[in-house]
Amino acid sequence: MTLDTSTRLLKLAALSSVLFGLAMVAALVSPLKTVFDVFLDLVHYPLDRDQSLTGDSARVLAAITGGLMCGLGALVWRLATDIYATDPARGGNIILIGVVAWYLPDSFGSYMVGAWFNVVLNTGFLAMFALPVILHRDTSQAVKA
């Protein structure tokens, strides 16, 4: 994978994270709540309508989580643009450390509270951030060999 393609994919992943985070916050005060009620029900698979974005604690955690997802996306966007695009080894290491540091505790905690399907969803997000870095590394190392 070329560096340009890898950078574009990282920026797309970053944008997806920002939009997801903003949607989560917007769900607190808009009809998007219905979408996130289904999302919460999905991460606690099977779909049984037992989970929803209700209660003060769930709502404040959604606000915090949405903000963190938005921040993660903004951070990766800047890393991809300012560092990764010119120094992919350094930028890629920073991005991978950050997304793995998010993925492991989020997935472990989700699994421990019975939201095992969130691990599957997290793995999709992890792939969006990690694969462009890993696939570019493989390509650039093969060219050097």
Give the total number of structural domains in the chain. Answer: 1
Residues 6+ apart with CB under 8 A from 63: 24, 25, 28
In the predicted model, is pLDDT for residue 68 greater than 90?
A: yes
pLDDT digits (tens, 9 = 90+) for 23-42: 999 999 999 999 999 998 89
- Segments forming the whole domain that contains residue 137: 3-144
**How confident is the model over 74-84, as a mean pLDDT?**
98
DSSP labels for 108-121? HHHHHTT-THHHHH
